[in-house]
Structure 1
């Protein structure tokens, strides 16, 4: 089988490696429009569950990813002028530079015999007419998907809040939240390390705050200077960085949730952000993309023919993605409704932040929900102690 992956992000590179590892006779080529080593963004997050899955599927790449990652075990929140609150019983996570992750996956793919063509943009499937399968993993703005948006049933929904994806030379130890009060409303940041000397900082606020602060018309330099002042409490004098490895300046955006009713059309199949997006606040984008890759390889190598494999992939992954997108919608709405929660004591705010996926929370007074949640937690702890089922 001859296979083309359009897009050299994590999904495409991991899929190419797994398929070539499973079936070395396949001819697999990855086409990436950007030059090698040029990528947008800073660090990405993942969790213990993903690492365990990667290690079970392809230990070599999993170990390389783990060795290049930094880990946090605690979480800290600063709310206005209040003392910081720390929480340690949440699960820890990992951060890794996006460029480092891509380099690891590209090296692994090449070692297995995958061809990677950088600086090559594919605008239509007719350019790949000799391929048996075309995997469209060309991101949220997928050109291959847009050509058949009517067939795929593509829907794109924009979130209300504005956000900005930045880097910094401040190396955060804990995963760090900071909520700053301004005359125009709250603006917040969360940061996590991805190598010993750098972290990702995601800034978010309501459109009213964004415009009130003048961020909608500020120059790049003025905007960064304002944000550095607002979040001086966590940056400790370190700068925010707005220009990424691709040489592109960060831009304020509204997060776009992409859904598709169908994931394949003929021999073209969607994967990763081309098929689905989930709000960044749940930190699941990379894990879901790599999960797509593993599931598609499994379907291709176990089903009787290509149509059956693509149908199996679509059914199986859509179930997983629907659950994740539902959780992401509630998470995004929690931040969109931040004024409902931000005046709580920091420990209660953090507790409800941890419950932001709940469909019940938006409909219950926050303090009442917190007291109920604590009562349930204490009862569960008591039951575990007396039954020995901890």
Structure 2
């Protein structure tokens, strides 16, 4: 089988690796438009649940993949300057560039032909391929070129985001909420290496404009955000890497394949980073597609149908959770009067996928705080 993969991100590389391991005789070529060491953003975070499927699919690769990860077993929500610890939330973090290097090397070792600075926008450029996997990201050019077949839809969200790094080490995954005279600012922060953390800043568009960030340069925005989160950064600077403001875009497709072309990863469906599941979903897609193509070697349409059947419901569930999470962040100003414990509790329930009983089992100490806070509030109302 001749397989062409467009896009050298986690979805495309992991799919290529799995297929080459299962079928060494297949010709698999990955076309990546950028250089091998080009990456934007900072770190990537996985929950233990997210990593379990990787270990099940390929334990040897799993050990390489996680060898240099930074681990933590709790997260913190900082509200009104008070950190609230949420235990038994296990996370594994690494830099995006290190994650890609591990995947790149594994593909080379397996015999995958990875071609950098190879820009493919139209599947017609690959006439000899039996299968074309479009894994070219959330702004997929292949999907755009074939929009009449895939029928994509886009949910453009309100809030503004900027990705930064910092030398301040946020050991737990930290969600920080700061009330300013202009409005609420939020930061999603986590350490991903011995000396670096991701620091993603989020703000609603009205506050963004009131602060003058709509006309600020990249460096002016960086300085402003350093001032907003000065207590959290503790004199550490924010670091930029194309740290321009953007809005979240939730992508879905009515159809996942057409002819010999199939979408994969963020080209297929985006999952918002507030759930920390985008890379997980992309790599789970890669596993499912490799299994489907292995089971239906002589019938590509059947393989694509099997892939969609195995992943469609999970995709829909995660996108629904992502929208609920986005709704929570976009209305966070209404929740700022809550005390820190009640605020953290409200956050944990935001998607509807976690219940009070789930939290009691996972972190009984936190639920004891929640119930004590509720009892105090009831006594106050009674008085």
**Same fold flag (TM > 0.5):** yes
1:171 aligns with 2:169: yes
**Cα displacement (A) at 1:84:** 2.4
**Cα displacement (A) at 1:373:** 4.1
Alignment of 1:369-384 (within 5 A): 373=356, 377=360
Match of 2:51 in 1: 51
**Cα displacement (A) at 1:83:** 2.9
Match of 1:192 in 2: 190
Match of 1:293 in 2: 286
Give, in whole Å, the separation in 1 of the partners of 2:358 and 2:160.
Answer: 36
Match of 1:100 in 2: 98
Moved over 3 A (4+): 372-378
CA distance 1:92–1:354, shift in 2 (3 Å):
same
1:305 aligns with 2:296: no
Alignment of 1:222-261 (within 5 A): 222-243=220-241, 249-261=242-254
1:338 aligns with 2:338: no
1:347-373 CA distance string (max 9 Å, x none)? 1111111111028x9xxxxxxxxxx94
Secondary structure of the 1:74 match is strand
**Cα displacement (A) at 1:97:** 0.7
Name stretches of at least 5 consecutive residues in structure 1 with no aligned partner: 244-248, 362-371, 382-390
CA distance 1:341–1:261, shift in 2 (3 Å):
same
Secondary structure of the 1:92 match is strand
Match of 1:69 in 2: 69
CA distance 1:376–1:57, shift in 2 (3 Å):
closer
TM-score by length of 2: 0.91
Give, in whole Å, the separation in 2 of the partners of 1:126 and 1:148.
Answer: 11
**Cα displacement (A) at 1:50:** 2.4
Match of 2:5 in 1: 5
CA distance 1:142–1:83, shift in 2 (3 Å):
closer
Secondary structure of the 1:88 match is strand
Give, in whole Å, the separation in 2 of the partners of 1:204 and 1:97.
Answer: 21
Q: Is the 8 A contact 2:44 2:192 kept in 1?
A: yes
- Select the residue among 312, 318, 324 that pairs with 2:318: 324
TM-score by length of 1: 0.89
Give, in whole Å, the separation in 2 of the partners of 1:19 and 1:110.
Answer: 13
Match of 1:113 in 2: 111
Give, in whole Å, the separation in 1 of the partners of 2:112 and 2:239.
Answer: 34
**Cα displacement (A) at 1:153:** 1.2
Match of 1:41 in 2: 41
Give, in whole Å, the separation in 2 of the partners of 1:49 and 1:101.
Answer: 18
1:251-297 CA distance string (max 9 Å, x none)? 11110000001011110100000000011100000000000100000
Aligned Cα root-mean-square deviation (Å): 1.9
CA distance 1:214–1:72, shift in 2 (3 Å):
same
1:37-72 CA distance string (max 9 Å, x none)? 111111111111222211121222211121121112
Give, in whole Å, the separation in 2 of the partners of 1:160 and 1:344.
Answer: 23
1:311-354 CA distance string (max 9 Å, x none)? 11122211110000001110010001102222111111111111
